[in-house]
Structure 1
Amino acid sequence: MAVMNELLSRAVIRTAAVVREIREDQLGLPTPCADFDVRGLLGHLSRAAEMFDALARKEEVPPEDGDHTAFESRAAAMVAAWSRPEAFEGMSPTLGMPMTTVFQLGLGDVVIHGWDLARATGQDYGVDAETGEAVAAFMDRMAPQGRRMGAFREAHAVPEDASPFERALGLSGRDPGWKP
């Protein structure tokens, strides 16, 4: 589990760096996540970090507060919560799925939405091979269910030689070549 938490830690560092560089005048820009502009996606990502922190601790998820500025502190708490081996044990009482799957869902949220924000604001977002493989493996397994639940759009075709992360983006319904 330490390896998985290292992936999350690196993803949070990478995404927090993007978030810190977002300017006020960029908050209304569209993102590859069609349901959100930059401000909305920041709020969603901040909420997701808070939610995955509570889920790792097997605590009740706090009510949504709409704070789009709290990602960094909430994500640090999320990493700390998932650093405990017991976080990965059993089933999520809230989501009804194995805690290892809950972790992968949280990792995917941080990585894919970090990429969304970077693309929307003209920043780079490099994903290391290990993280790309982990997110792709999760998306290979969960994207069909995610589409049925309305969490993902229809898959976007990617070239045969696409990287694992580009494949994950395509499975989530995103165009890896998206530009504002």
Structure 2
Amino acid sequence: MSALHDLRPASDALGQLVANLPAERLTGPTPSEGYRVGDLLEHIDGLSAGLQSAAHKTPVAPEDLRDGDAAQLRPDWRQRVPTQLTELALAWAEPSAWEGETVQGGVPLPAPVAGMFVLDELIVHGWELARATGQPFTPRETDVRALLDFLSSLPPMEEADGLFGPPVPVAKSAPDLDRLIGLTGRDPAWEAAPAQG
């Protein structure tokens, strides 16, 4: 894994999805069972602020410890979350963010591992939000391949402390993004029903 990975393209892509998210989709389903779009958005809100702490190697602010609850989503999300995502990428653009050890989700980790988990959050949740809201999403191939290499080097997902669901079987000939999504326990064929007009 590279010592320093540029998170800006992935954070920009997710920020654009949030900025363009149709408000009527907030109650719609996502590829993660039991998670509505508003829940996913609130989770992205929390991680976009909280994961900056891992880069700075400081404790996470209590208000950023959120698991995804649409009822807790503040009304200024459309402007605030993309800004936080930009700040997240800038925090991880500092070489010091990738050095030594940090804490992420209460778990001590080597900083390069934590940084790759941030990239995973950006791309996997970007894919989920795009699929759930009918928006296009094309992450950088280099990011997707880097994540495939990284996640494939970890213990089987069932043993990875609940970070992912059981892998969904995907053909080896499938596109890299589909293979990544399947590896993280989502069905790459999932699509939301069209919005009612």
Describe the shift of the 1:12–1:50 C-alpha distance in structure 2 as closer, same or farther (beyond 3 A): same
User: What residue is the counterpart of 2:27 in the other structure?
Assistant: 28
User: What residue is the counterpart of 1:43 in the other structure?
Assistant: 42
2:58 paired with 1:59: yes
Give the Å deviation of 1:102.
Answer: 0.4
2:146 paired with 1:134: yes
2:94 paired with 1:95: no
Is the 2:101–2:108 Cα contact (8 Å) retained in structure 1? yes
CA distance in 1 between partners of 2:157 and 2:109 (Å): 13
CA distance in 2 between partners of 1:145 and 1:27 (Å): 29
* Cα RMSD (Å): 1.9
User: What residue is the counterpart of 2:85 in the other structure?
Assistant: 75
Aligned AA (2:86): A
2:5 paired with 1:4: yes
* Segment drifting more, 141-150 vs 77-86: 141-150
Q: Which runs of 5+ in 1 are unaligned?
A: none
Aligned AA (1:170): G
Which protein has the bigger strand share?
Answer: 2
CA distance in 1 between partners of 2:47 and 2:155 (Å): 18
Aligned AA (2:32): C
Is the 2:131–2:191 Cα contact (8 Å) retained in structure 1? yes
Aligned AA (2:140): D
Q: Which runs of 5+ in 2 are unaligned?
A: 65-71, 193-197
Give the Å deviation of 1:71.
Answer: 2.0
CA distance in 2 between partners of 1:121 and 1:147 (Å): 31
User: What residue is the counterpart of 1:164 in the other structure?
Assistant: 176
CA distance in 1 between partners of 2:27 and 2:159 (Å): 26
Describe the shift of the 1:58–1:3 C-alpha distance in structure 2 as closer, same or farther (beyond 3 A): closer
Give the Å deviation of 1:135.
Answer: 1.7
CA distance in 1 between partners of 2:160 and 2:92 (Å): 28
2:15 paired with 1:13: no
Is the 1:2–1:83 Cα contact (8 Å) retained in structure 2? no
Q: Which runs of 4+ in 1 moved over 3 A?
A: 65-68, 145-148
CA distance in 2 between partners of 1:134 and 1:140 (Å): 10
Describe the shift of the 1:108–1:150 C-alpha distance in structure 2 as closer, same or farther (beyond 3 A): same
CA distance in 1 between partners of 2:84 and 2:155 (Å): 26
* Residue-pair matches, total: 178
* Segment drifting more, 36-45 vs 89-98: 89-98
Q: TM-score when scaled to structure 1?
A: 0.90
CA distance in 1 between partners of 2:25 and 2:13 (Å): 19
CA distance in 2 between partners of 1:163 and 1:83 (Å): 28
Is the 2:102–2:111 Cα contact (8 Å) retained in structure 1? yes
Question: Secondary structure of 1:96's match?
Answer: strand
Is the 1:143–1:172 Cα contact (8 Å) retained in structure 2? no
